[in-house]
Amino acid sequence: MAHWEDVVVRPDFRGVSRRERQGGRYRRYHPDLLTAASTSNSLTPALTEYAADVTTGLARLGESLRATPFPILYATSVRSEAISSSWIEGVRETPRAVAVAQIGYAVASHVAGQIVRNVSAMQDAIELLGKGDWKHEHLWAIHHDLLPDEPFGYRDGQVWVGGSSPLTSQYAGPPHEVVPELMDDLLTYANTSGDLPVIQAAVIHAQFETVHPFSDGNGRTGRALVHGVLARSGLVEGGVIPLSTALRRDVDGYIRALTAYRYDGDARADGVESFVGAFLAYVEEATVTAQTFVAAARRLHERWQQSISGVRSDAALRRAVDLVVENPVVSAPFVAERLNVSTVTANHIVKQLVEAHILKPATGQYRRAALFQADDVLSLLQFGAEAGPTSRAPALAGSADAERTLIHRCGVTTVRGSCGNRVAHADDLCWRHRT
């Protein structure tokens, strides 16, 4: 039965905080096994009906993705979700900085490199978990992609959230000795449960975050598992919903929902009901936001295809467009290496992409570097990482809604100062602040 355990800690005279030096007690949580009771039977009929409605919304979104698949959508949705998931953990960089790190450019920041690894972990989650039974090795591989310096496997010590020790933490997970059993149980539930995929995703995520099986990276890995569930169910293919964006817009509510899931004794029904209800609301919001994101990605795909409509299907220029979709910041040497062409040919391809308004010379801190950026893709990444269900998508370069050169700044006052997003005219607001 789920319970909180009091743990006595002896004084640590070299401790960072007064409480550590004094010693004391902390509480760590032991969750129930997921397979010990039926999840669906513990939910109210109203919540079960809500889950069915959310599933219907996801299915409609998934059907539209399957009807018109295109690479820009998958590349940008996965990357923007990974960026937003990293932001929740305080690992924050701009999409452009992440794109610079992605091509291995020397001046890339350490933080941007962390987000690139989260992109890889997200892709692995969809690939490894999106089909067939889940295995421990799958989870270890996803976590290793995210944090390659961490030991391969589950933790071998106490873990906590917040504070410098369990004594000052906001939450302490179960002892490491029980983690293998809890994770065996989680995988059994993932592989045998008959619950609706959205309910299964909610329970797996809450249980994973509660067990906290790794010493670090549990939040990002746990959110990646949700996309593995949805991909395996066939509800969402060819992209991901911006779930982390919805969670990031309500971090306090997200933490309250996880806290409520950590029930004591036989209060399983209330704990599960509380978290599943909150999670479904986040998925519903993300599904609505995804519809705007998909429409924006489709417009971008159509504009770029029109820009190169006269080019042979096997031409290097078309392959370069696909390369820019995956890497919205490139250099001529990078293009030459990836397309296996000469430096002269690569420079000519980059020039053609600039003339087609797909690329432009990098600006800001990279203006002296021999880099070129795809502003449309970078704007789409930023939109996917930050937008809500009522946000308007960014205008594309060369469209009726935007100048090809955005020389003005939005300027709206925010908690971090004036908004620096570029706009076409001095009195325009950027997509984030248009209502």
Catalytic residues: 212
Please check if 188 is assigned to a binding site.
no
Please check if 216 is assigned to a binding site.
yes
Question: Alpha-carbon distance 375 to 267, whole Å?
Answer: 51
Tell how strand 329-330 and strand 3-9 pair up. unpaired
Residue holding tokens 């704007």?
Answer: 379
**Per-residue three-class SS string for the chain:** CEEEEEEEECCCCCCCCHHHHHCEEEEEEECCCHHHCCCHHHCCHHHHHHHHHHHHHHHHHHHHHHHCCCHHHHHHHHHHHHHHHHHHCCCCCCHHHHHHHHCCCCCCCHHHHHHHHHHHHHHHHHHHHCCCCCCHHHHHHHHHHHCCCCCCCCCCCCCEECCCCHHHCCEECCCHHHHHHHHHHHHHHHHHCCCCHHHHHHHHHHHHHHHCCCCCCHHHHHHHHHHHHHHHHCCCCCCCCCHHHHHHCCHHHHHHHHHHHCCCECCHHHHHHHHHHHHHHHHHHHHHHHHHHHHHHHHHHHHHHHHCCCCCCCCHHHHHHHHHHHCCEECHHHHHHHHCCCHHHHHHHHHHHHHCCCCEECCHHHCCCCCEECHHHHHHHHHHHHCCCCCCCCCCCCCCCCCCCCCEECCCEECCEECCCEECCCCCCCCCCCC
Tokens of 4: 């909180």
Please check if 392 is assigned to a binding site.
no
Please check if 35 is assigned to a binding site.
no
The CA-based angle 290-297-339, given to 5 degrees, is 130
Question: Alpha-carbon distance 293 to 288, whole Å?
Answer: 9
Beta carbons of 124 and 225 less than 8 angstroms apart: no
Please check if 14 is assigned to a binding site.
no
Question: Alpha-carbon distance 160 to 183, whole Å?
Answer: 17
Residue holding tokens 């955005």?
Answer: 406
The CA-based angle 385-197-69, given to 5 degrees, is 55
Please check if 265 is assigned to a binding site.
no
Please check if 113 is assigned to a binding site.
no
Please check if 217 is assigned to a binding site.
yes
Q: Binding site for ATP: which residues?
A: 216-223
What residues form the annotated binding site? Answer: 216-223
